[in-house]
Chains A and B, each alone.
Chain A
Amino acid sequence: MVDREEILKIATLSKLFVSEEELPKLTTDMEQMIAFADTINNAEDASTDFDNINNLCNVLREDEVVPSLDRDKILGNAKDIDDGHFLVKKRA
């Protein structure tokens, strides 16, 4: 069973802020997702390859250059930038 500590840990790892009010719903949602995965794992036809369920193969592109994105846009979401770089600040 999933408890609130686990949800908080996953949230921290995913860099998500989760409020106290959201916790109960997220806990039940996560429990249901895991239960669903268990159901699939226990399905009788275990031979099905769930890894490649769409049966697609060799979706490839040719080696042709397309223009990159403007650097301003690339850096647009960054918290900190310095001299055209993403800046990861020293941890306090």
Chain B
Amino acid sequence: MKYEMVAGFETHVELSTKTKIFCGCTTQFGGDPNTHCCPICIGLPGTLPKLNRQVVRYAVMAGLATNCTIPEIAKMDRKNYCYPDLPKAYQISQFDMPLCVGGYIPLSNGRKIRLTRIHIEEDAGKLIHRHGDTLVDYNRGGVPLIEIVSEPDIRSIEEAREYVEKLQLIMRYIGVSDCKMQEGSMRCDVNISVREVGSDKLGTRTEIKNMNSINFIAKAMEYEFERQVDILENGGKVIQETLRYDDVTNTTSSMRGKEDANDYRYFRDPDLVTISVSREEVEELRNLLPELPVQKAERYVSELGLSETDAALLTKYRKIAEFYEEASKGTKNPKTAANFIIGQIFRRLDTESDKEAFDIKVSAEDLRELIKLIDDGKIKMNLAKSTLEKMLDTGKKATEFISESDMGGLDEATMISLCEQAVESNPNAVNDYKNGKEKAIKSLVGFVMKNSRGKADAVAAEAKIKELIAKA
């Protein structure tokens, strides 16, 4: 029997507001325990929470960027559960009237992962367990979160990976969150079940809680998929339960006992009034959204003629895309800037986070100046490449490394004389070439390039050298 995976995600994303969702305490990460707290966020009786406008705006932007609809009216509800990380014994969240409903994330294989909803809520405090005692730090308590809930549309680990990466990129692009998984500002719960391929029924699902790394998610899903298939193949039944993934043993284990029946007794928070998002504000926020990676990539292909691969590489991180657009602005061929970035500049950026930070010494304007020298026929590509290396090393402008005499190309006579010198002073290479070693010609061309300080046209030089050897 063949089985397939059916998975849905609940993704918590911490919003990049300056203050908490219902009070003016800072949301800064870290800080001594319980120093970012006030009577509202530690839930003292008699305090009145007041909703942060920016939380509503960011959540609506997140919804618009993921193709959601924004209902005109939303409200806040209390989700009741008793645990020390919640000082009020309830979390203020949204139950049946969230800010965003019904979006989707398109995947590269053409499938769409539907989103049920995006709602806003407060984060809980941090617990440190020590010898059975629990230490509580409420600095994180009340930090605004959005929870992005997907339909069970994910069918493989590859799709899960792409879904999480896409969400992360979109949220960073639109600037509503830094989505740093290792710092916990993006965390995923995964609902997972298995069924026979071809069936359209949903199996019993389990929920793996609170994972903060894409690799853990992939491993946990793989383990859980195999565990459930094993149970079914041995005639057993999957029990609906909440699981914790242990990355050391690479296993999942049951997290909650029966006493924690999922009855959150949601009811409207009487301290918080209705939220109404006007259509004008929705349009205003839509206009604030930057062009998203997918749209950008499509435009690079259709308007600038880049390959899909190059377009994807250049749009993955917002800083790179902005740099590219600035550097290629007004240049003759949009591919030139793309090649410099993907080639020489990327070679200096080893990791994905290096690429995302895109911390290089050359400004987009300086790269554009260099490209214009090529466009105007003042320098050849080889000289441009070596100049860019020097610019990347020092942060200086192209004109610092290229003298007036370098510009304007090489006159015919000098070029021919250099080719003759190359043939005369490198008899070994000439012999190698004559004996069928095609590559030997490169060292002769290299001689010409070096002695012309990169000004020679490499293609013309190669042709000339071949001609000279043939004549000899």
Contact = CB atoms under 8 A, between A and B. Distances in A.
Contacts of B55: 63
A46 interface: no
B34 A74 contact: yes
Interface string B1-35: 00000000000000001110001111000001111
B128 interface: yes
A65 interface: yes
B135 A86 contact: yes
A85 B128 contact: yes
A60 B51 CA distance: 5
Contact of A82 (B25, B36, B135, B276): B135
26 contacts: A57-B275, A58-B273, A59-B50, A59-B51, A61-B24, A61-B50, A61-B51, A61-B53, A62-B52, A64-B19, A64-B24, A66-B25, A68-B36, A69-B37, A71-B34, A71-B37, A74-B37, A74-B38, A84-B35, A85-B34, A85-B137, A86-B136, A86-B138, A88-B84, A89-B133, A90-B133
A90 B131 contact: yes
A63 B18 contact: yes
B34 A58 contact: no
Contacts of B33: 71, 83-85
Interface stretch (A16-24, A31-39, A48-56): A48-56
Ranked 10 nearest A-B pairs via Cβ: A66-B24, A90-B132, A85-B135, A63-B54, A56-B273, A86-B136, A88-B134, A60-B53, A84-B33, A61-B50
Contacts of A30: none
Interface of B is mostly: loop
Contacts of A71: 32-35, 37
A87 interface: yes
Contacts of A58: 273-276
Contacts of A69: 37-39
Given A59-B273, A90-B132, A51 B268 contact: yes
A1 B24 CA distance: 44
A26 interface: no
Contacts of A65: 18-19, 24-26
B56 interface: yes
A58 B57 CA distance: 12
Given A61-B24, A61-B51, A71-B34, A56 B132 contact: no
Contacts of A57: 273-276
Contacts of B282: none
Interface residues of A, number: 28
Contact of B50 (A60, A84, A85, A86): A60
Contacts of A8: none
Contacts of B238: none
B42 interface: yes
B97 to A, nearest CB: 10
Contacts of B276: 57-58
Given A57-B275, A85-B135, A88-B136, A63 B52 contact: yes
Given A74-B34, A74-B42, A87-B135, 8 more contacts: A58-B274, A62-B52, A62-B53, A63-B18, A68-B25, A71-B33, A74-B38, A84-B137
Nearest to B268: A51
Given A65-B24, A84-B32, A54 B136 contact: no
A75 interface: yes
B273 A64 contact: no
A16 B26 CA distance: 33
Contacts of B134: 87-88
Contacts of A88: 84, 133-136
A87 B133 contact: yes
Contacts of A56: 273-274
